[in-house]
Structure 1
Amino acid sequence: MDSTHLLALKVMRLTRPSFVTETPLVTFDPRDLFAQSAPALSPQKCAANQRDIAEGAGHQKINLTDMLSLPQNFGNIYLGETFSAYVSVHNDCNFLCRDIIVKADLQTNSSKVAMTAGSAEPVSELPPDRSIDEVLTHEVKELGPHILVCTVSYTSHSSEKLYFKKYFKFQVQRPLDVKTDFRTTENDEVFLEAKIQNITSGPIFLERVFLEPSPNFQLLDTPSTDREDDSGVRVPECLREQETRQFLYRLRPAASGDTQPQQPSVGGASVTVGKLDITWRSQMGQRARLQTSPLCTALPPAEDIRVTVEEAPAVVRLDSLFRIVCRVTNNSTRSVNLRLSTSSRQQSLEQSQAAMQFCGKVARSLQELRCGESASLSLELLPLVPGLQSVSGLVLTDTLLNRSYEFDELTQVLVHP
């Protein structure tokens, strides 16, 4: 208690206990020369030690005892955890104190949060040797220094208005290192690789790593954070100190109604894909949650005319016709009239020994495509060489500007003999 005040304020952080570890028993094989030469480590004792460890419980095999240890210091606080503190105001004097108000604010570099419920109703009386106790909780959402400011005001037995403050400073650290990498395919699909590294001082258990897509994108594949143990039960993935896990997400531009998926942004511009929502538990089961800032990537420059494959077989037979369905999209700012043909290189290959040959009426005019419109295109091909072959050599010519667009390696098929 402060010598000038009648009340004493104590603040303690509430954290979960930890298991007590013990030094493992040193055992030797009874046939070991060292075990035979050491009187204290006779073969009989070595065999008994090995039997005790083999028959012990699972926690004994990893040096954990049945005892729990209470925290001996303030410990580390990580972003996304819930900070809990026990606040106690005790009347250490022999007099009755009145109108006690306890307030607690958490200050950061950019904000100030009231952790108490405003303390609108003061405690009317606090007799000697009695206390006012309260548990404060706050989800930590900022990095850097935090200051817990506790203010106590009261009226003494002599009707004197008194108050005092205490400051408790702590540092909030980063628990995870999240790195992302983007890849964009020719059909506008976006692959997001997220690397999550545990940079805390202990192991964590990942419960959920979810990608919340932006309105521009639709999430197609979501990886799992669970794994199967030896008994086939799904358990959360354990991430030890400095370990890294990788997660892969597949997205595509969101569709508008029944129309085809649209580009969420012009090529070369930065577009928001979404943000990661990560939930984990500490080794003692304390839950924490972290959400990244919006993840952005730059889309590749869009071609004026785009061709994507919608239907194509994965495996075909040699010398057997097969069909692929493509979609031709006009990404330019004007209407176009297109004519379909094959490249001169493809025609020269067909005269010699081409691996894949177009069949039927290939050279033809397509319908007029306005800005943003698309049309379906069906092609028949004949495989002539076994193996993994590419469909290439398609040419679309803008008859107005006399500009040609050549498309190679539209897709690949496996040709069986």
Structure 2
Amino acid sequence: MRLCRPTFHVETPLQFDPCDLVVGEDLSDCPSAIPRHLLDHSHSASNESSSTDLTFCSRFVLGDESDAMGLPGLLVLPQSFGAIYLGETFFSYISINNSSNSDARDIIIKSEIQTERQRIMLLDTSKSPVESIRAGGRYDFIVEHDVKELGAHTLVCTALYNDGDAERKYLPQYFKFMVSNPLSVRTKDTTYLETCLENNTKSNLFMDQVEFEPAPRWSAIRLKADAHHTEKGAFTRETFKPPILIRAAGGIYNYLYALKMSSAPTKGEGSNVLGKLQITWRTNLGEPGRLQTQHITGNPVTWKEIDLKAVKVPSVIILEKPFMVQLSLTNLTEKKLGPFEVWLSLTDSKEEKAVMISGLQRMDLPVVEAFASLEFQLNLISTKLGLQKITGITVFDTMEKKTYDPLPDLEIFVDTDLQAANIYSLSEND
């Protein structure tokens, strides 16, 4: 049989009034019909200050606060095999009974767990067989197994022995059980990783530890709500952390982690593996459980070797007058990159571009160190009024002969030279 701890025996507390033992409920409407000594005794026992309250609600007042729990101090032995969950330790009490009239000798006992993937030996007495089991006697032993797989499991127990006629006999027994997942882990990842633990068991789970182990390229910090300023004993709570309760049959608890990339992945290395969770818990009677999730993967990340962005764009841009756009080039790799060339790529359309480079059409940039940045200015000029876009700012690595994706379009507003227009209008008036 499965060896597991007992459960609490719970009784629904039921209180009554001593008057109910002598008089009927219908006499409660007439106080004069109830013996005075019973009425006084009833109300003194229930600590009632008023002797005129004959409502039934006073008859169900608990004598002690602990009575509301309904725990009489008794324990109940398990009446069924029960459920087995991943991460628990499975204990089994096995008894070999000799029901014959003669002794069984030289008994080799084996016990193993069989799953879809492997066979795990729990007990093997081949090297030291049990010498004998007398008629009507038995041999008992306990096996245990840390459950690490889901699905069907089979506990196989075999006995190879000599009977009373010295004939070698073989007795196999098979016990099948299913292993379920105690927790549902769901994650959501963008800038943060949100983990939702859901209790799939029929008992409360007290989480001792839920730790996220990030992949080598990541670092993770768990985000917690700030404690209220009126709370005391913060140091004590941090040292002696109370377990987190996840209630039975669907209770959930959320964990939030902030992830930060520490280095870019190398070629051939998985780029979307974030890490895994290490979870330990206990049930109502302290039975331990532990679980390690598979690798948690995020959305596929497209890694860039460089990052080109606009740092400063003039707020006032005058038609056909040069203006400067300040740009920043960042090396996102662990090696030197460059030197570079920067230019404005041509569009497929035959329409003239609204913004062009003023002066030399190509700008040379030096080598950029690993994880370093370089700021530079690009001299541009606009040929059209109104809302325009700066498109096609492209970076080319002259060493690797590689062209990177252009900078996303920048929107600008091009206005006329108001001062020149005002001078021209004044000269016409004169």
Distance 1:368 1:338, change over 3 A: farther
Structure with the bigger percentage of strand: 1
- One of 374, 379, 391 as aligned partner of 2:371: 374
Shift of 1:94: 3.5
Output one character per residue of 1:194-214: Cα deviation in whole Å (capped at 9) or x when no partner.
111111112111111111222
TM-score norm. by structure 2 comes to: 0.62
- Where does residue 290 of structure 2 map in the other structure? 289
Return closer, same or farther for 1:365/1:77 CA change in 2, 3 Å cut-off: same
Does residue 106 of structure 2 align to residue 106 of structure 1? no
Please point out which of 335, 338, 341 is paired with 1:335: 338
Partner AA of 1:56 in structure 2: E
Query: Map of 1:17-166 to 2, 5 A cutoff?
Result: 17-25=6-14, 43=54, 46-47=57-58, 49-52=60-63, 55-57=64-66, 60-117=67-124, 119-166=126-173
CA RMSD of aligned residues (A): 4.2
| Cα separation, partners in 2 of 1:18 and 1:378, compared to 1, 3 Å | farther
d(CA) in 2 for partners of 1:211, 1:149? 37
Tell me which amino acid in the other structure corresponds to 1:222: R
- 2:87 is paired with a residue whose SS is coil
- Is the CA contact 1:35–1:43 (under 8 Å) kept in the aligned structure 2? no
- Structure 2 residue 274 is the aligned partner of structure 1 residue 249: no
| Distance of 1:157 and 1:269 partners within structure 2 | 64
Q: 1:301 to 1:86 in 2, by over 3 A?
A: same
Cα shift at 1:75 = 0.7
* Equivalent AA in structure 2 for residue 213 of structure 1: P
State the Cα distance separating 1:376 from its structure 2 match: 4.8
The 1-side partners of 2:175 and 2:213 are apart by 36
What is the distance in 2 between the residues matched to 1:37 and 1:210?
Answer: 64
1:209-220 superposed matches below 5 A: 209-219=210-220
Give me the whole-angstrom Cα distance separating, in 2, the residues matched to 1:91 and 1:403. Answer: 81
For residues 157 and 51 of structure 1, the distance between their equivalents in structure 2, rounded to whole angstroms, comes to: 64
What is the correspondence of 1:215-294 to structure 2 with a 5 Å cutoff? Answer: 215-219=216-220, 221-222=221-222, 234-240=241-247, 241-254=249-262, 262-264=263-265, 270-294=271-295
**1:171 maps to which of 168, 172, 178:** 178
Say if 1:84 and 1:138, in contact at 8 Å, map to a contact too: yes
| Amino acid corresponding to residue 199 of structure 1 in structure 2 | N
3-state SS of paired residue (2:194) = strand
1:196 maps to 2:185:
no
Percent of aligned pairs with the same residue?
32
C-alpha contact 1:87 1:134 (8 A) present in aligned 2: yes
Stretch moving more, 169-178 or 295-304: 295-304
